[in-house]
Structure 1
Amino acid sequence: MSQGGLEADRRAMVHALALGRRGMGQTWPNPAVGCVLVREGRIVGRGWTQPGGRPHAETQALAMAGDAARGATAYVTLEPCAHHGQTPPCVDALIDAGIARVVAPLADSDPRVSGQGFDRLRAAGIAVETGVMADVAMRDHAGFFLRIEQGRPFVTLKLALSLDGRIATATGESRWITGPAARRAVHALRARHDAVMVGGGTARADNPALTVRGLGVARQPVRVVATRFLDVPLMGQLAQTARDIPVWLLHGPGVRAETARAWEGLGATLLPVAKAGGRIDPSDMLQALGAQGLTRVFCEGGGQLAASLLAADLVDELHVFTAGVALGAEGVPGLGALGVEKLSLAPRLTLVDSSVEGGDLHHVWRRRTGD
């Protein structure tokens, strides 16, 4: 391929990836895919996976293009599906539309698809090219791949801290450490995840709604609370809105039957998980969420839940919002006990972005995959 052709492919794939991100948080358990159709240098169709996981991106783009799809190149951010689910395979739609070439960065690791979509396209005489923007696509689809390959969702942890790493005063006051711009950024992050999760202590202390507000999302994230004993107030916002927006409670064994019945009566879903060290096991917790179809979970603390995920090396991305306020040693620390005795054993992450949100700093860190 010529350099000009490669650059054109990259530009089109950047567009397709941007479209795919519009579906983040809306499409689980399906991946958030984007698709752009280009014919003779002109975009004739585009689409992305719709809320609930269907229609798929390819069929959206083909519907827009109509007859102009014949002879076009389809830029798709993941291998087109080749299996019959609730909708026919996307490869059949691409073949029937007369697509001449398909460019996709990655194969789908779902065993129902993996390589079969590409094979069927090639068998139909369609040119297939892979690898374009593969590193970016891998990040975008990380949650989908993690659920398929490891049974757990991608985990984003958010911490809103004072300059000295506190999340509340000694009396528990925490609203608001960061300013309005940072809080808007947090709502945007919530919107790009399938679920928002907090620990039981945070649910009791803050009575949060855990919804996305001000962005007009089609599908609110699931609200998840990790609470060993189900001791979250039944008159709180989460309980009283559980029939309108899903509430899932991850709890340990041996909870009181009447408490469990009360929560189920309010419309909540109860997910029992194992204990480890007297607390809910973080790995089993994520396995339970993955089994329910979640691919991306946004954890907002508190400190002990955040520490347990970090200690178990289960935080894939960390967003830290730091405000210009100092609360002192008597304030509540942003992280619970980690049990770190040597610096060499402390969790370490890699800084990938830094920005300013109003008067607050926003740092993005990712888990290290090797040194």
Structure 2
Amino acid sequence: MRLAIDEAQQALGRTSPNPAVGAVVVRDGRVVGRGRTQPPGGAHAEVMALREAGAAARGATLYCTLEPCAHHGRTPPCVHRILEAGIRRVVAATEDPNPIVSGRGFAFLREHGVHVEVGLGADASASLNRPFFTLMREGRPFVILKAAASLDGRIAETSGRRTFLTSAAANRHAHCVRAQVDAIAVGVGTVLADDPELTARGIFRERPLLRVIFDRRLRTPPDAKVLSTLSAGPVMIVSTPEASRCAELRKPLEDAGATIDASGDGLRETFQRLAAEQQIGSLLLEGGAAMHTAAWDEGLVDYVRLYVTPHVLGNGGVELLSGRGFSSAALFERRVESLGPDVVIEGYVHRAG
């Protein structure tokens, strides 16, 4: 199962909205086939492993990190290929949380004489695919709060003023993170202060990166850098019906390539629509402080990635969570890594109850 999990890890960031799955075929104690989920529309991990195994799959054991699918989607059901290959035993880490699939793959295999075991490597498998599990169970993307802060917990010197905090090493790391998510969201204050491109520079992506700007009054400049990088992915501006009715505000942004969402929805409703309509399974929330605070207060933050720099900005600086600072004790499965002069602290958010 460790080898199957390794395969799944290599597929991370390339399979959305599908989960990253790994599979290994073992016969007589020897690995005869390995596979991982291909980009959407491509073969699933089980099929890739069976192809590599060929005739050696007959009578073998298939290890997979998620329940094999039993429905027709973009590809045929994996359970049919498993039967055709002559697999005798399937060891899966977890049941698929997708209600279309959940339990049906295992039931089909058992009905056709395949011995099925579930649970080996379950925690590691679930950790790999937390975005997919969140999407299936809560109907919204897995939200990662990303911020850079000084030693005294400030993200900028003063509100509305751009502040450079992190090193080149931390910036490269942040771009790698962007390459693994489906969408990035910021508030208009971040656009006005920093004028970011919101791209994963220099990193290949299988799927265009959706950039979302929460801008109730349509203050985003039509010449903002994010609108000059549409080749990296679309830009959606979430506004209100009132602001969107003003053609003087709306039309220049539409002419620049932005899509205006006039729903006036809050964070939770917008995230749910992104999941339902655009299959956004993971979202990187980059700021600013008001966005971070709103998402934190609504219980929408699933993971925190905080870059801490060896600087002190003082009392005039902007606080990360508008006075609601939290400690690493609020996180589990924590990781701490040095990136040049900076440190990144990250972990999953623990919510009481």
Q: For residue 273 of structure 2, what is the amino acid of its counterpart?
A: A
**From 113, 116, 119, the counterpart of 1:131:** 119
Checking the alignment, whether the CA contact within 8 Å between 1:152 and 1:290 is kept in structure 2 is yes
**From 257, 268, 272, the counterpart of 1:287:** 272
SS state of the match for residue 236, structure 2?
Answer: strand
Shift of 1:265: 4.4
**Bigger shift: 353-362 or 20-29?**
20-29
| Partner Cα separation in structure 1 for residue 282 and residue 123 of structure 2 | 18
**From 309, 312, 315, the counterpart of 1:329:** 315
Shift of 1:217: 3.4
Map of 1:263-342 to 2, 5 A cutoff?
A: 263-275=253-265, 281-291=266-276, 292-336=278-322
SS state of the match for residue 24, structure 2?
Answer: strand
Shift of 1:195: 1.5
Checking the alignment, whether the CA contact within 8 Å between 1:172 and 1:332 is kept in structure 2 is no
Shift of 1:109: 1.9
Checking the alignment, whether the CA contact within 8 Å between 1:211 and 1:220 is kept in structure 2 is no
| Partner Cα separation in structure 1 for residue 349 and residue 60 of structure 2 | 39
Give the share of equivalent positions with the same residue, in percent.
41
Shift of 1:271: 3.6
Kindly indicate whether residue 81 of structure 2 is the aligned counterpart of residue 100 of structure 1. no
Provide closer, same or farther for how the CA distance between residues 51 and 269 of structure 1 changes in structure 2, counting only shifts above 3 A.
farther
**From 12, 19, 26, the counterpart of 1:38:** 26
Shift of 1:307: 0.6
Q: For residue 364 of structure 1, what is the amino acid of its counterpart?
A: E
Which position in structure 2 is the counterpart of 1:73? Answer: 61
Shift of 1:264: 4.2
**From 66, 70, 73, the counterpart of 1:85:** 73
Work out the number of aligned pairs and report it. 348
| Partner Cα separation in structure 1 for residue 107 and residue 26 of structure 2 | 22
Provide closer, same or farther for how the CA distance between residues 90 and 267 of structure 1 changes in structure 2, counting only shifts above 3 A.
farther
**From 239, 253, 256, the counterpart of 1:251:** 239
**Bigger shift: 50-59 or 266-275?**
266-275
**Bigger shift: 291-300 or 137-146?**
137-146
Q: Deviations over 1:182-210 (max 9, x none)?
A: 12221222222121222211122222122
Provide closer, same or farther for how the CA distance between residues 46 and 178 of structure 1 changes in structure 2, counting only shifts above 3 A.
same
Checking the alignment, whether the CA contact within 8 Å between 1:30 and 1:53 is kept in structure 2 is no
Shift of 1:337: 5.9
| Partner Cα separation in structure 2 for residue 230 and residue 117 of structure 1 | 48
SS state of the match for residue 337, structure 2?
Answer: strand
Shift of 1:244: 4.8
| Partner Cα separation in structure 2 for residue 363 and residue 355 of structure 1 | 7
Provide closer, same or farther for how the CA distance between residues 189 and 22 of structure 1 changes in structure 2, counting only shifts above 3 A.
same
Which position in structure 2 is the counterpart of 1:10? Answer: none
Kindly indicate whether residue 154 of structure 2 is the aligned counterpart of residue 166 of structure 1. yes
Provide closer, same or farther for how the CA distance between residues 56 and 205 of structure 1 changes in structure 2, counting only shifts above 3 A.
same
Q: For residue 190 of structure 2, what is the amino acid of its counterpart?
A: T
| Partner Cα separation in structure 2 for residue 167 and residue 284 of structure 1 | 27
Kindly indicate whether residue 227 of structure 2 is the aligned counterpart of residue 227 of structure 1. no
SS state of the match for residue 230, structure 2?
Answer: coil
Map of 1:152-163 to 2, 5 A cutoff?
A: 152-163=140-151
Provide closer, same or farther for how the CA distance between residues 337 and 370 of structure 1 changes in structure 2, counting only shifts above 3 A.
closer
| Partner Cα separation in structure 2 for residue 98 and residue 44 of structure 1 | 14
Q: Deviations over 1:216-269 (max 9, x none)?
A: 333343222222233212112221232552223333332334344544444444
| Partner Cα separation in structure 2 for residue 319 and residue 58 of structure 1 | 32
Checking the alignment, whether the CA contact within 8 Å between 1:168 and 1:331 is kept in structure 2 is yes
**From 35, 44, 60, the counterpart of 1:47:** 35
Shift of 1:320: 1.0
Provide closer, same or farther for how the CA distance between residues 29 and 263 of structure 1 changes in structure 2, counting only shifts above 3 A.
farther
Shift of 1:128: 0.8
* Unpaired segments ≥5 residues, structure 2: none
**From 170, 184, 190, the counterpart of 2:178:** 190
| Partner Cα separation in structure 2 for residue 266 and residue 22 of structure 1 | 36
TM, length-normalised to structure 1? 0.86
SS state of the match for residue 163, structure 2?
Answer: coil
**From 350, 358, 361, the counterpart of 2:343:** 361
Shift of 1:157: 0.6
